[in-house]
């Protein structure tokens, strides 16, 4: 009987792990749709217009990735368009147990059956994005790293790692704020495997290698550690360390309310992620996006037109990409010119987060991209060169036509070959 019990526990943990893992690979359609919807509590004296504006503001924050969107000069004019962006809305009734305010639930535990009125609203994605773009505000696409949280708290002088089952209120505060900001979190089980791989001392000592090794099983794109303790003054003190793409970002937050500390920390996390993966401005005074002249990117292993379409759609879906032009096709190798918003580093980071392209590491390419100007990643054999000469005239004509008619499957083998030197090279994952 005991053996069956342990077997059942193992199966349950495995199922939970697979569920979390399914969220670790990126935003699904349901989650993407949630970026454009909001639910606000109906308060006495608040008009429906006020509820719409409050919900719309929350959506603007999620989609732009900017917590300070209300301070933008264009915020007032955008807010006036909130009604035009409405897709659907309804009123819901929730009990206090369904509401996310953990402290209120504890205080009013004997009133759990009391109903609260909430206003749910969904806005049209294209309308919201166009309003932000017209106002020169960033649009944060679905490239949003899934973040694994390791929470360690000092209690009575002892430092421990807490799972979401050990401190439900703390994790509720983290999850509520992450939903408001449109980011995805996953939490470790802290089962025997985790306990063998990581300790509270690793988190408090910022032992990044140990933390990252322990995090591998969850396959999150970012890892965040939280150190939390209460000072003698009564203030809660927290230190946050975000490990993302080989870099560490650290911040601290202090507040008398623990839930407020945790919420503010997730706000800072979302701001950090958005700063990494959304376009930037030229300067504080010049509210226009910085646009690079373009970068040459080679993608290998593209075998047919369907894969080309998939790749083309992928590049156009990236938040940092302004435009993409196919310059050359040679066998299964494609070279694009990609103009992007913000920095080259932001573009590279955004590509790293996807599972579509694997980077090919050439020392001459990876040496800050441009120190070796003589490197040519496309090497054509004699047959390739001969074929290129024979089809040069035809390729030039079709290259001019593709601006009007779009690229078709037949042109994939006849785009004019030139001597191009890509700065970045990737392998398409099938």
Neighbours of 162 (CB within 10 A): 20
Residue 118: which H helix or E strand, with range?
strand 115-123
341 and 409 in a single domain? The answer is yes
Token couple for 116: 């609260």
- Give the integer Cα–Cα distance in Å for 56 and 38: 8
Q: Between helices 125-134 and 48-64, what is the axis angle to 10°?
A: 70
Query: At which of 245, 277, 309 does a domain end?
Result: 277
Is 208 contained in some domain? yes
Evaluated on CA atoms 208, 210, 211, 213, the torsion sign reads positive
pLDDT tens digits, residue range 75-106? 999 999 999 999 999 999 887 655 544 444 44
Q: Are residues 83 and 166 in the same domain?
A: no
Q: Find the domain containing 173 and state its range.
A: 147-277
* End-to-end Cα, the chain, rounded Å: 45
Confidence of residue 179 (pLDDT cuts 50, 70, 90): very high
Give the residue-averaged pLDDT of 243-266.
Answer: 94
Query: Do 127 and 184 belong together in one domain?
Result: no
* 8 is a domain residue: no
| More confident call, 418 vs 427 | 427
Same domain, residue pair 272 and 362: no
Task: Provide DSSP, 362-377.
Answer: -HHHHTTTTS-TT--S
For the chain, how are helix, strand and coil distributed in percent, rounded to 5? 45, 25, 35
Question: Between the CA atoms of 316, 185, 66 and 319, what dihedral angle is there, to the nearest 10 degrees?
Answer: -10
- If we measure between CA atoms, which residue out of 117, 116, 149, 317 comes closest to residue 228? 149
**385 assigned to some structural domain:** yes
Q: In the prediction, which pLDDT does 292 show?
A: 55
Indicate the pTM of the whole model.
0.69
Provide the domain count of the chain.
Answer: 3
The verdict on 255 and 317 lying in the same domain is no
Report if residue 283 sits inside a domain: no
- Contact between 219 and 24 under an 8 Å Cβ cutoff? The reply is yes
């Amino acid at each position: 009987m005991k053996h069956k019990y342990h077997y059942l526990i193992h199966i349950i943990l495995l199922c939970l792990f697979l569920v979390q893992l399914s969220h670790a690979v990126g935003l699904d359609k349901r989650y993407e749709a949630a970026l454009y919807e909001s639910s606000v509590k109906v308060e006495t004296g608040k008009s429906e217009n006020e509820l719409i504006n409050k919900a719309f503001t929350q959506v603007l924050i999620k989609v732009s990735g900017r917590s300070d969107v209300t301070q933008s000069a264009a915020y007032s004019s955008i807010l006036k368009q909130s009604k035009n962006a409405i897709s659907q809305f309804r009123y819901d009734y929730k009990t206090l147990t369904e509401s996310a305010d953990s402290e209120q639930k504890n205080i009013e535990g004997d009133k759990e059956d009391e109903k609260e009125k909430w206003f749910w609203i969904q806005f049209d994605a294209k309308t919201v994005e166009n309003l932000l773009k017209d106002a020169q505000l960033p649009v944060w696409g679905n490239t949003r790293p899934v973040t694994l949280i390791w929470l360690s708290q000092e209690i009575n002088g002892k430092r421990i790692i807490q799972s979401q089952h050990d401190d439900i209120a703390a994790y509720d505060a983290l999850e509520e704020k992450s939903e408001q900001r449109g980011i995805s979190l996953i939490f470790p089980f802290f089962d025997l495997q985790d306990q063998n791989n990581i300790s509270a001392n690793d988190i408090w000592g910022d032992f990044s290698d140990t933390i990252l090794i322990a995090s591998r099983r969850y396959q999150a794109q970012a890892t965040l550690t939280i150190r939390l303790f209460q000072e003698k003054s009564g203030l809660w003190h927290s230190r946050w360390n975000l490990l993302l793409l080989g870099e560490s970002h650290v911040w601290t937050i202090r507040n008398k309310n623990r839930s407020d500390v945790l919420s503010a920390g997730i706000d800072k996390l979302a701001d950090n992620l958005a700063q990494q993966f959304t376009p930037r401005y030229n300067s504080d005074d010049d509210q226009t996006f910085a646009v690079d002249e373009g970068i040459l990117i080679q993608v290998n292993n593209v075998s047919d037109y369907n894969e080309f379409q998939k790749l083309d759609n992928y590049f156009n879906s990236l938040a940092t990409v302004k435009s993409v032009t196919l310059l050359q096709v040679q066998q299964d190798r494609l070279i694009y010119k990609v103009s992007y918003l913000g920095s080259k580093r932001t573009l590279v980071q955004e590509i790293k987060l996807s599972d579509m392209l694997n980077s090919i590491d050439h020392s001459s390419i990876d040496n800050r991209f441009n120190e070796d100007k003589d490197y040519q990643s496309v090497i054509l054999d004699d047959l390739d060169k001969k074929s290129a000469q024979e089809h040069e005239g035809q390729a030039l004509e079709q290259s001019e036509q593709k601006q009007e008619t779009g690229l078709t499957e037949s042109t994939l083998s006849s785009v004019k070959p030139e001597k191009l030197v890509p700065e970045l090279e990737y392998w398409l994952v099938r």
